[in-house]
């Protein structure tokens, strides 16, 4: 990789982490959440996104980047926020609507869970688009998306 490519990847990484932070801050109407969201998103990009970029660098295009980023946005959250409780002692509700009763998610709970995953996946997709756009505009990707990020 040329030094310019490395700078482009660093800029793309920062843009990819900033995109969901801006989206969530705008959706929540609270700028205070930008810093923690940026940190979590940056962790996702560095831990999951960059290794995938290195593995699949010859297949980097806008669609592959957006789809992989959607998956990166969904999978950790799907594991972390899995509804239910193994010992059956947990119940929860949102706005008075039961989402978990005695450790078992209700239909409303599953719909809430899937909605959360869809939202986080969309944030990931926007993050992936930001990543790809910065790679493209910094010259890390040639005009044809079908060629490798690393020339040589």
Task: Give the Cα separation of 106 and 99 in Å (integer).
Answer: 5
* 48 φ, ψ (degrees, to nearest 5): -105, -50
Q: Is residue 50 assigned to a domain?
A: yes
**What domain range is 26 assigned to?**
3-82+121-137
Report if pTM > 0.75: yes
Q: Is residue 42 assigned to a domain?
A: yes
Query: What is the largest distance, in Å, between two alpha-carbon atoms of the chain?
Result: 60
Q: Is residue 108 assigned to a domain?
A: no
Q: At what angle do helices 3-28 and 34-44 cross, to 10 degrees?
A: 140
| pLDDT single digits (tens) 52-101 | 888 887 788 899 999 999 999 999 999 998 876 667 778 888 899 998 88
| pLDDT single digits (tens) 113-139 | 999 999 999 999 999 999 999 999 998
Closest among 94, 72, 73 to 83, alpha carbons compared = 94
Task: Give the Cα separation of 34 and 124 in Å (integer).
Answer: 15
Q: Is residue 10 assigned to a domain?
A: yes
Domains of the chain: total: 1
């Amino acid at each position: 990789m040329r030094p310019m490519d490395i700078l482009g990847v660093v800029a793309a990484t920062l843009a990819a982490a900033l995109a969901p932070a801006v989206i969530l801050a705008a959706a929540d109407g609270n700028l205070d959440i930008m810093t923690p969201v940026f940190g979590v998103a940056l962790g996702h990009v560095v831990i999951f996104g960059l290794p995938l970029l290195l593995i699949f660098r010859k297949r980097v295009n806008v669609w592959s980047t957006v789809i992989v980023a959607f998956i990166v946005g969904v999978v950790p959250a799907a594991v972390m926020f899995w509804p239910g409780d193994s010992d059956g002692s947990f119940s929860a509700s949102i706005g008075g609507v039961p989402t978990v009763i005695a450790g078992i998610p209700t239909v409303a709970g599953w719909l809430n869970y899937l909605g959360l995953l869809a939202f986080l996946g969309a944030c990931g997709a926007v993050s992936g688009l930001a990543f790809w756009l910065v790679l493209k505009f910094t010259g890390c990707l040639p005009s044809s998306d079908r060629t490798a990020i690393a020339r040589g």
